[in-house]
Amino acid sequence: MAFGSEPRARAAKVGGLLLLSSALSLCAACGAAPAQNQNGAAPQKSDGAAARPSVSEVGDIRITAITHASFQLEYGGRVIHVDPTGAGDYSAAKQADLVLVTDIHPDHLDPAAIAKVRKAGAPVVAPSAAADKIESPTVINNGETKTVAGISIEAVPMYNLQRGPSPGQLFHPKGRGNGYVLTLGSKRVYIAGDTECTDEMRALKNIDVAFVPMNLPYTMPPAEAAGCVKAFAPKVVFPYHYRGQNPEEFKAALKGEPVEVRLLEWYPPEPKGGAPQ
């Protein structure tokens, strides 16, 4: 990807559309069977998305969904942005005391968006694979824990087990990207990143808030994500990064479990989200 300024934002939007349509056609081709509306289209338009809030609170932690993989956390007067990108509307967002980047793909790493949202001198935590695109990065790799901006941050592996662009290849090989576990006061917040149901995710303990992806072909479908969430049983889970999938399926699959599923508005309609999906 090129990282120019204005043309880049436009390219990102067009690229997002292409990515969406290719993801949907790939999903159809691979035999996944998402619920269909009357037009036979994928379910993202028929799942009641318009009624969802974009903000939620868990104790003293305030969560604002921006788009897809991008969100804002507020805790104790500090603002954290996760994977800020130009596809999101940051007009109402706060400037970041800390930025977290999970991976190198453009829906997670956008140097121009990071520069806009970052307070002067605020640390940007990223895996080494993403570091050369970021000014003054704070590098953390899988398995490491550092305290940055007063917040304990543990980097957890995020990777595909089976899904990739071609046989023998994975969209996200182990070791490149980071999921994160943040400790905010007494709560542990897990940001999964782009991952399938790894042993590391299943083994997590004492997670209060989790953000778990569910899209094809890049991560895992909602039912698989729900199975994984049962294993580590966070108190509250937010489906995110689910473009082309129906998070209601995830919620239904966790009915009766001691896990609260909260659905937010991750794909606001135009003009707020920039791209139509």
Binding site for Zn ion (CB under 5 A): 107, 194
Question: What is the nearest approach in angstroms of Zn ion to the Cβ of residue 105?
Answer: 5
At 34, give phi and psi (nearest 5°).
-65, 150
Q: What is the DSSP string of 124-184?
A: EEE-HHHHTTSSSEEE--TT-EEEETTEEEEEEEE--SS--SSTT--SS-TTTEEEEEEEE
Please name which of 80, 48, 76 lies closest in space to residue 64, comparing C-alpha atoms: 80
Residue closer to Zn ion by CB (options 24, 184) is: 24
Q: Measured over all CA atoms, what is the biggest interatomic distance in the chain, rounded to whole angstroms?
A: 51
Q: Rounded CA gap, 231 and 233, in Å?
A: 6
Residue closer to Zn ion by CB (options 42, 58) is: 42
Q: Rounded CA gap, 274 and 14, in Å?
A: 10
Q: Is 244 helix (H, G, I), strand (E, B) or coil?
A: coil
How many whole angstroms from its chain centre is CA 66?
10
Residue closer to Zn ion by CB (options 82, 209) is: 82
Partners of residue 236 on adjacent β-strands: 209, 260
Residue closer to Zn ion by CB (options 74, 219) is: 219
Question: What is the nearest approach in angstroms of Zn ion to the Cβ of residue 55?
Answer: 22
For residue 28, what is the DSSP state?
H
Question: What is the nearest approach in angstroms of Zn ion to the Cβ of residue 58?
Answer: 23
Residue closer to Zn ion by CB (options 107, 248) is: 107
Question: What is the nearest approach in angstroms of Zn ion to the Cβ of residue 147?
Answer: 27
Residue closer to Zn ion by CB (options 90, 240) is: 240
Would you tell me how many other CB atoms lie within 10 Å of the CB of residue 43? 17
Q: Rounded CA gap, 77 and 156, in Å?
A: 26
Question: What is the nearest approach in angstroms of Zn ion to the Cβ of residue 102?
Answer: 8
Residue closer to Zn ion by CB (options 110, 248) is: 110
Question: What is the nearest approach in angstroms of Zn ion to the Cβ of residue 70?
Answer: 10
Question: What is the nearest approach in angstroms of Zn ion to the Cβ of residue 15?
Answer: 13
